[in-house]
Amino acid sequence: MHRPTVPPPAAVCFSTLVTVQVGDLNYGKHLANDAVLKIAHEVRLRWLASIGLSETDIGGCGLIMTAAVVQYHNQAFHGDELRADVGIAETAAAGFRFDSALIRTRDGLPVAAAQCHMAAFDYAAGRARRLPPEFRQCLAALPRADGTEAV
């Protein structure tokens, strides 16, 4: 059976620390699979805040996730501190790929990597739209190692 490979971000543009909370655990007492996407969402909000934006306003519209791929590497447990590294890839007219990797700080082991495909979305009109020009410029200024160019 094919197993997708999700590499860590090729070029890191933002990092933050998160702690595994009790609500992030599953019945096996380790980080739950669904909690990885929840953490990726938190990390995305922190990245946007660091550039003065929010998920509901990137310059006249918001963002919506259209797809996600997660690869799990190692377990994490309650209280573990994780470093979340972020990179942006595959920028297009209406969206981009938000890459993140979770690394356990006490031993440097990768816990998980996620690719979240994000699209510009006009929530009032209920439809996708192009990324606002100012946001596209912001994305274009980020470190990139994937060979793509901002549109």
pLDDT digits (tens, 9 = 90+) for 51-81: 999 999 999 999 999 999 999 999 999 999 9
pLDDT greater than 70 at residue 148: no
Domain spans of the chain, in order of start: 14-140
Closest CA to 69 of 128, 119, 3: 3
**Confidence bin at 2 (pLDDT 50/70/90):** confident
Tell me what pLDDT residue 12 has.
96
Tell me what pLDDT residue 147 has.
52
Tell me what pLDDT residue 151 has.
45
C-beta separation of 20 from 31 below 8 A: yes
* CA distance readout (Å), 127 to 55, 89, 115: 15, 23, 22
pLDDT greater than 60 at residue 29: yes
Q: For the domain bounded by 14-140, which CATH number is listed?
A: 3.10.129.10
C-beta separation of 6 from 114 below 8 A: yes
